[in-house]
Structure 1
């Protein structure tokens, strides 16, 4: 019955919208992040960088590679997480997925290089190195799974990969929060510079929290209680 099918499809789309109201805010947050962060690097001028670039000849090229590829990765990641696009335009979903994989591998490799030049010591280096390694690993596992047509495994690995990819966005939230906790006077006193031990402590904590919190949320999302997931399925 075509009419019933259209009506059912309409109900499904309505449920999808209300059950997933986060896609529009995520797209807006990602757009704001890219608009505010990316222009500093478009001109390839090291003096415009948000982080010091006097860390050896490999640092700045790896940094801009990480940032440019990461911008593509985040954009493709939003498209990958959009349920309506996946359901109604699977071909676009597949192509944006390929773009995501390539850009994540390039950005992750750049991040792996820049992680070896930390501004806040070994603890920050370990945090960023582990983040880059996990991003590369999860992305490759997700790609292998879809090539083997293990779609459930593919979804889980790519959710984890995307959670790590958006840790840079989360870092913009956690950094000021942790600075406010570690050294609240830095928010009002310009004389408190990055070299202060408390500021470095906040930077280290943010380097860890920004991706661990995202990954824990992804795991919770993937392994929600079966009863809740079943109720969601029955409403579709």
Structure 2
């Protein structure tokens, strides 16, 4: 029985790593679309009002895009911890993850949220997401400094739930567009919330069941 559980756990580890690797590759492809710097690439093609009227928008946009890919990677390495045999990376990965979110990725994301597509409901969601992302990361960092590692782990999972909204948002977008064919701006109003609310509910459920 113990051998079966160990084999099941190892299989789940492999599936988790492969799954993350696939979605990380997709996100990396999106990031590479903005290299070299251009003002008319991909998402920016529908943000020309901000690009032309708000020169600072591009600085915040590229800060968010370029740091978020490293946030995804460092966050994944940090939460793997000793159970996955890479304990030595946990502290350094966590420091990189925390620094990038609190100083660069979350503040730039909050600014971009103010100008999000989809109207007021989308703007509220993205700004709120950025604030929760920053706060949960700060809380995880604070608890680690206090050596309250059990609580730190739970807050890190909350932070990562917000981090992977970059992935889940795009998954929901594909599902909704193919299933319902709605107006593009209506899609943003829905995925702005679907991108992160199910994530955090799932994490809270797993925490309550002591799975995390």
Which of 32, 36, 44 in structure 2 is aligned with 1:39? 32
User: Quick one: distance in 2 between partners of 1:155 and 1:17?
Assistant: 21
Cα deviation code 1:120-141 (max 9, x no counterpart) = 1111100100000000000000
Displacement of 1:42? 2.0
TM-score computed with the length of structure 1 as normaliser: 0.78
After superposition, the CA RMSD in angstroms is 2.2
- Return structure 1 stretches of 4+ with deviation > 3 angstroms: 10-16, 18-21, 85-89
Asked if 1:183 corresponds to 2:176, the answer is no
TM-score computed with the length of structure 2 as normaliser: 0.86
Aligned residues: 203
User: Quick one: distance in 2 between partners of 1:179 and 1:204?
Assistant: 13
Q: Is the 8 A contact 1:142 1:153 kept in 2?
A: yes
Larger radius of gyration: 1
Asked if 1:160 corresponds to 2:168, the answer is no
The equivalent of 1:97 in structure 2 is 94
The structure with higher relative contact order (CA 8 Å, sep 6+) is 1
SS of residue matched to 1:115: helix
SS of residue matched to 1:42: coil
Q: Which ranges of structure 2 fall in alignment gaps of 5 or more residues?
A: none
User: Quick one: distance in 1 between partners of 2:109 and 2:33?
Assistant: 18
Q: Is the 8 A contact 2:125 2:193 kept in 1?
A: yes
Displacement of 1:217? 1.3
The equivalent of 1:219 in structure 2 is 204
The range that moved more, 54-63 or 16-25, is 16-25
User: Quick one: distance in 1 between partners of 2:184 and 2:87?
Assistant: 46
Displacement of 1:87? 5.6
